Each structure stands twice: as C-alpha cells, then as structure tokens.
A and B are shown apart, each in its own frame.
Chain A
Amino acid sequence: MGLISNGTTLLDAGSLDGGVATGDMILIKTLAASNSSALSFVHGTSSVVLDGTYKEYLFKYINIHPTEVAQLVINFRDGGSNFDATKTSTAYNPYHVEDDTAAGLIYREAWDLAQSTGDQIIAQELGAAADESGSGYLHLFNPADTTFVTHFMGHTAYYQQLGGGGPFGVIYAGYCNTTTAIDGVTFKMSAGNLSTGTIKLYGIK
C-alpha cells in the first residue's frame, strides 16, 4: 500500500519515497552495557552497518560505568575476527582535580600508539564509584576505503578516580595504517567489565 498526500507519494512498497526528507544522520544501532566484557559493532551482525554505505560514522558513548577502575579502550577490525588494526595515534589530556590543586593540559605519550595493534586508550583510570562514568564521541572516516589509511578522532570527558580525582578528558586521533576495510569497532575495559552505559552508532549520509 502506498500513501499519497496532495499528489506527492510519501511512502510506497515498504519504504519512504526518496524525495521525503528524513534527515542525514541515521541511527544504526544502540548497544547497552550490562556487565559486558565488550560492546562491539561488527558489520553485518545484529543489523550493524559499517561499510561503504556511509562516508563517515559517528559513535556516541554515554555514561560508561565500569565494574572496576580501569582504562576504557577501543580497537578496530581490519579483516579476520580480531580487533587488531595497526594504528598510529595522538592523545592529550586536559585535567582538573576536584580539590582545585592541579589543572592543565598534557600530551600523554603513554596513551598514544605508534604502529601498534594494541588498544587505543580513550579514558584513563575511569572511575567506578556509584556516580562516576565517562562519555564522548568517536568519528570514523570512510572505513570501507581500500586505497587510503582510515582516520579516526574522538574526545572523552570522564571522571578519573586516581591522581586526585576529578574531571579529565582524552582528546585522541589517528589512523588505522591499513588499506584493508575496517568492518568492526570494539569498546571495552582494560580490566573488568562495562557495567552500564550506552553506545550509539550513526551513519552520516
């Protein structure tokens, strides 16, 4: 059945007409943590799209709360089943401890990567007390491309429990140094699990 209003077809054959404005930032998938070892978005699994359909993908991670104080990390899949794409990245850290005794902006060599297949830290010592969590976003550009490296960039705001405690941030960026398509992204803790929190994946038309 179709639906026509004032001579204009709005929907037909199970989909909206191509001329209907539906917006160009499309929610693809929401994953919710529940004492989860990882939240992974894999193309073709559970309705996840992470291919050439979109030129840019945006992840928003909201109120990630771990089971214990640890690093929140990400990694990328570039073929096979492992999340181990080779990466070179930068990471720096604005901070301000709760008692107002220290604040600053520091490049963190321990949090960046140089041609490493290891995980990218996106929150260091993420607090696990009842009201502590981290939120942020990750842009992933053109993951299906097989000519160029694949760039990513993100920003996390979180409560760091150690080092005085307080609001900290990680601003990170880099590239997967591979011309193989990236078809999966995983979020996990370096120790313990993701107790609660939500991660949303959007495609940008």
Chain B
Amino acid sequence: MGLISNGTTIFDAGAFAAGIGSSMTFIKKLTADGSGTNLTFVNGSSGVVIDSTYKEYIFIINNIHHEEADRNLSVNFRDGGSNYDAAKITTFYYARHGEDDGSAELVYRGGTDTVGTGAQQLMNGIGNSADDCGSGYLHLFDPASTSSVKHFIATTNIMQDNVQSVEHHIAGFCNVTAAIDAVQFSVNSGNIDSGTISLYGIA
C-alpha cells in the first residue's frame, strides 16, 4: 500500500519516499574501552559505509580520554591496500588560553601540519586527569572520487595537559585520486581509554 498526497508519494512499497526525513544519516559509532590504540572505520566492515553513497561524511568525536598524559589524537586515511598512509598536505593552527589566564594566543603550528603520509594530529597533548578530554568533528568530502583530491576539515577542542583550553583547526587534502575507503583515529602512545566517534553520511 502506498500513500499519495496532492500528487506526491509519501511512502510506498514499505519505505518512505526519498526526501522524507533528514539528510544526515547515522552510520556507525565506535566506543573506546581502553583496550586499543585506535578507532577505525572501514568501508564494508561492521556496517560502516565510506563510499559513493554520500558526498560528505562527518565524524563527531566525543570526550576522547587517553590512558597516558600529553598524548595526541591523530587521523589517517586508507587509499587502497591495507595501510593508513594516504599522502596529505594540511594546515594546522590553534587558539589557546590557560586556566590561569596565561598563554592566550592564536598560532599557526608548522610542526603539526603535514606534507607526507604520516598521521595528521587533530588533538595535541590531551591531559589524562580524571576529567580531561577532547571533542570535535571531522568533515570528509567525496571520498569515493577517483578524479579529485579528497578534502577534509576538522575542528576540535581539548583540555590540554598543561591545563589550558586549546581549539585546533585542521584542513587539507589527501593528494590522491584513489578512493579513500577507510579512516583511522589513533593515539601516539598508550591506549584510548574512553570516548566515542560517530560517523554520519550527508545526503
């Protein structure tokens, strides 16, 4: 049975028509439990979709807390094969402000931008006191394209190990025309104790 209102099909054949509902679709949530060094989204694995189904993907990073102090959260991309090593060119700047009202500044940080295949920092130096964590989001545009580079943009905020609020802005592109089919978030030492990363597709 279908339902047609004023000439518009609302639902038919057991499903609502395209365009009914939101254009932001939840795909997958990964939760850190202290047992691993990374949270990894792979197209076709465990219900993850990172292909041409959507033109944009958003990862929402929530309350990442590391086992060790002064550790980073980084991201890397898979462009074929099994390694997370897509060539990248990125920018990285941050604003920071200490709880003691010191260190207020806006800085481009050449040491944490990337020209190469290494992981790109998204959060630099998160503390590991009981209430320390970092949150933010990462946009990945058109990862299935095989004709263009793949752009990404991220903004995060953390309580840094030296007790300050630090907002990071990262953007760049995977300088490849191979499709990006997986994204890995990792800590540089120790494990990710807790936190979630949720993946959404934008129609």
Contact = CB atoms under 8 A, between A and B. Distances in A.
Contacts of B104: 90, 107, 109, 112
A175 B130 contact: no
Contacts of A5: 1-3, 11-15
B198 interface: yes
Interface in A117-157: 139, 141-142, 145, 147-149, 151-153
Nearest to B100: A114
Given A5-B14, A55-B198, A151-B135, A107 B105 contact: yes
Most buried by B among A24, A142, A171: A24
Given A23-B21, A114-B100, A153-B136, A8 B1 contact: no
A90 B95 contact: yes
B14 A8 contact: yes
A102 interface: no
Contacts of B196: 55
Nearest to B101: A114
A24 B21 CA distance: 9
A173 interface: yes
Interface residues of B, number: 48
A145 B37 CA distance: 23
A89 B103 CA distance: 12
Given A24-B24, A90-B165, A142 B96 contact: no
A148 B63 contact: yes
Interface in A98-120: 105-107, 109, 112-115
A23 B203 CA distance: 10
A145 B63 CA distance: 9
Contacts of A204: 24, 60, 198, 200
Given A6-B1, A105-B106, A107-B106, A175 B165 contact: yes
A141 B65 CA distance: 14
B134 A151 contact: yes
Contacts of A89: 97, 165
Given A24-B25, A88-B99, A204-B60, A147 B164 contact: no
A90 B134 contact: no
Given A107-B104, A151-B134, A21 B16 contact: yes
A22 B100 CA distance: 46
B25 A23 contact: yes
Most buried by A among B12, B63, B130: B63
A7 B105 CA distance: 60
A44 B64 CA distance: 28
A195 B3 CA distance: 43
Contacts of B22: 22-26
Given A142-B135, A175-B157, A10 B16 contact: yes
A149 B95 contact: no
Nearest to A151: B135
16 contacts: A5-B3, A6-B14, A21-B16, A23-B24, A24-B22, A25-B24, A90-B165, A105-B106, A112-B97, A148-B131, A149-B131, A151-B135, A151-B157, A179-B131, A204-B60, A204-B200
Given A115-B100, A141-B136, A151-B133, 4 more contacts: A114-B99, A115-B99, A149-B131, A152-B157
